């Protein structure tokens, strides 16, 4: 049976970065992944372009990680989003920053990021075993005994990076939570986060349209970000963020033009009075939205009665959307809940109960917004878990 200094279970962003860090610190390292390929979930982020991090400052990062972001102060003081960018650029990956600080490879291909991580692991001598599922983990004296579908291994240090429970088809089925429970550690309740929203809105007319920087609100929750109309309702960052505050039965409001006040809009329409409503609106919103919003009115702006004018303003600034529910955990982007942080040393990510046992990435009770914030904390916790802390 082969013995390693460190074994890592799961080759998502957290696991691959943990392997790189571990080998960089001179540890004989093995990473075990049950899928045939590395980083299956990572490949699907940012619409297949891999939203590898976010270039904000510490405040922005903490705001982007609403689920226990403050636990990460110590992690970010050791390795943060700027270290991630430096890491990829030092390893030949050119990066670009898009709206809302989202960072992507200039190739617009996830494989660029995944290949860079794989090449670095190989360069540092990490043993990579794909198509190998870990089926059980035990600890005898000072050694972990890892049983897989192929062979068994020993190590002094074990890093669990098996992810959460969303999109289980990518491999994240909650095995890491079972490991934690096996060692009598607590796992907090698992829930869906960053969930697409189901609506009874007549979305056929708007299906496939994406809007930049609109405001979606429910009560005191006001979110200005991009929004996507889908065949089931709403997705995109604005909807995913609002999903934490709704469960179904609420009426949200959509402001198609948050950058214009009602007075500015009215002034604009007065200037456009000879035009058709649709043509006047299509300067401000996508053409299909202009068509949809103008459908119940007379053709020309000048023929709008005062009450019709008010209804049009309401549609543009306070469009009601009936929420009927949200996607299940399996179809949400992120898992809220995980290994209880009270049992984890925030400096090393080692279990306080079981020496040598570390956790990193989404298996922990941390959840973030899409936009690179999850991947950021996964890569950073991975690096810190892999380090040798002297
Ligand atoms: C469609 C989609 C889009 C997303 N977009 C974004 C985005 O734009 N920005 C953002 O910040 N976040 C995004 N996320 C979230 C982000 O992808 C995850 O938070 C991140 O991948 C979690 O990383 P991880 O390394 O902790 O776990 P994962 O990436 O889930 O990797 C865990 C790995 O462990 C392996 N594994 C599990 N059990 C075993 C076992 N028993 N033996 C061996 N291997 C095992 C799995 O096969 C898997 O490869 C998105 C998620 C989805 C689903």
**Is any atom of ligand 1 closer than 6 Å to the C-beta of 338?**
no
Residue whose C-alpha is closest to residue 360's, from 373, 189, 345, 369: 345
DSSP per-residue string spanning 33-69: -SSSSS-HHHHTGGGGT---EE---HHHHHHH-TBTG
Residue 204 has pLDDT above 80, yes or no: no
CATH 2.40.30.10 is held by the domain 197-326:
yes
DSSP per-residue string spanning 63-121: HH-TBTGGGGHHHHHHS-HHHHHHHHHHTT--EEE-GGGEEEETT--HHHHHHHHHHHH
pLDDT at 389: 84
**Is any atom of ligand 1 closer than 6 Å to the C-beta of 163?**
yes
pLDDT band at 198 (very low <50, low <70, confident <90, very high): very high
Give the Å distances, CA to CA, from 51 to 192, 261, 272: 20, 33, 41
pLDDT at 201: 66
Kind and range of the H or E run holding 374: helix 373-386
E strands within 161-243?
A: 191-193, 197-199, 210-218, 221-229, 233-235
Q: Please state the rounded mean pLDDT for residues 21-30.
A: 98
Closest atom of ligand 1 relative to the 15 alpha carbon: 25
CATH 3.50.50.60 is held by the domain 2-191+334-386:
yes
Structure tokens at 296: 């119940």
> pLDDT by residue (tens digit) across 302-337?
999 999 999 999 999 999 999 999 999 999 999 999
Average pLDDT value for the chain: 96
pLDDT at 205: 82
**Is any atom of ligand 1 closer than 6 Å to the C-beta of 237?**
no
**Is any atom of ligand 1 closer than 6 Å to the C-beta of 215?**
no
Q: Please state the rounded mean pLDDT for residues 274-280.
A: 96
pLDDT at 55: 97
Structure tokens at 174: 């909650």
For ligand 1, the distance from its centroid to the CA atom of residue 81, given in whole angstroms, is 18
Query: Percent of the chain scored above 70 by pLDDT?
Result: 99
Domains of the chain, by residue range, sit at 2-191+334-386, 197-326
CA-closest residue to ligand 1 atom 27: 163
Residue 202 has pLDDT above 80, yes or no: no
**Is any atom of ligand 1 closer than 6 Å to the C-beta of 133?**
yes
Backbone dihedral angles phi then psi of residue 235, each to the nearest 5 degrees: -140, -165
Pocket test for ligand 1, best of 163, 175, 377 (most atoms within 8 A of CB): 163
CA-closest residue to ligand 1 atom 34: 10
Residue 203 has pLDDT above 70, yes or no: no
For ligand 1, the distance from its centroid to the CA atom of residue 20, given in whole angstroms, is 17
> pLDDT by residue (tens digit) across 343-360?
999 999 999 999 999 999
């Amino acid at each position: 049976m082969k013995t390693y200094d460190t074994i890592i279970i799961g080759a998502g962003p957290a696991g691959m970065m943990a392997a790189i860090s571990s080998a960089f610190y001179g540890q004989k390292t093995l990473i075990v992944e049950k899928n045939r390929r590395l980083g299956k979930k990572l490949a699907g982020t940012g619409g297949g372009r891999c939203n590898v991090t976010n270039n904000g400052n510490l405040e922005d990062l903490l705001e982007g990680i609403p689920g226990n972001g403050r636990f990460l102060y110590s992690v970010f003081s050791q390795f943060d989003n700027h270290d991630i960018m430096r890491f990829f650029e030092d390893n030949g990956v050119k990066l670009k920053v898009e709206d809302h600080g989202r960072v992507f490879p200039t190739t617009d291909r996830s494989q660029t990021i995944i290949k860079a991580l794989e090449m670095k692991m190989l360069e540092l001598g990490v043993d990579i075993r794909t198509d190998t599922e870990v089926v059980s983990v035990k600890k005898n004296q000072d050694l972990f005994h890892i049983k897989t579908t192929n062979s068994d291994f020993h190590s002094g240090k074990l890093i669990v990076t098996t992810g959460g429970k969303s999109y289980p088809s990518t491999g994240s089925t909650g095995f890491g939570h079972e490991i934690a429970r096996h060692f009598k550690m607590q796992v907090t309740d698992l829930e869906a986060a960053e969930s697409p929203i189901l609506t009874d809105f007549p979305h056929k007319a708007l299906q496939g349209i994406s809007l930049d920087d609109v405001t979606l609100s429910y009560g005191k929750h006001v979110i200005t970000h991009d929004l996507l109309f889908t065949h089931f309702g709403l997705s995109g960052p604005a909807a995913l963020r609002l999903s934490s505050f709704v469960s179904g039965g609420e009426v949200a409001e959509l402001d198609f033009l948050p950058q214009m006040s009602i007075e500015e809009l009215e002034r604009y329409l007065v200037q456009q009075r000879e035009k058709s409503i649709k043509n006047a609106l299509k300067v401000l919103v996508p053409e299909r939205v202009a068509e949809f919003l103008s459908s119940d009115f007379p053709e020309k702006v000048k023929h709008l009665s005062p009450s019709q004018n008010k209804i049009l303003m309401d549609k543009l600034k306070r469009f009601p959307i009936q929420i009927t529910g949200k996607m299940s955990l399996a179809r949400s982007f992120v898992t809220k809940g995980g290994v209880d942080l009270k049992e984890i040393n925030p400096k090393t990510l080692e279990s306080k109960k079981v020496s040598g046992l570390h956790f990193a990435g989404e298996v922990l009770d941390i959840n973030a917004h899409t936009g690179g914030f999850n991947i950021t904390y996964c890569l950073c916790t991975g690096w810190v878990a892999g380090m040798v802390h002297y």
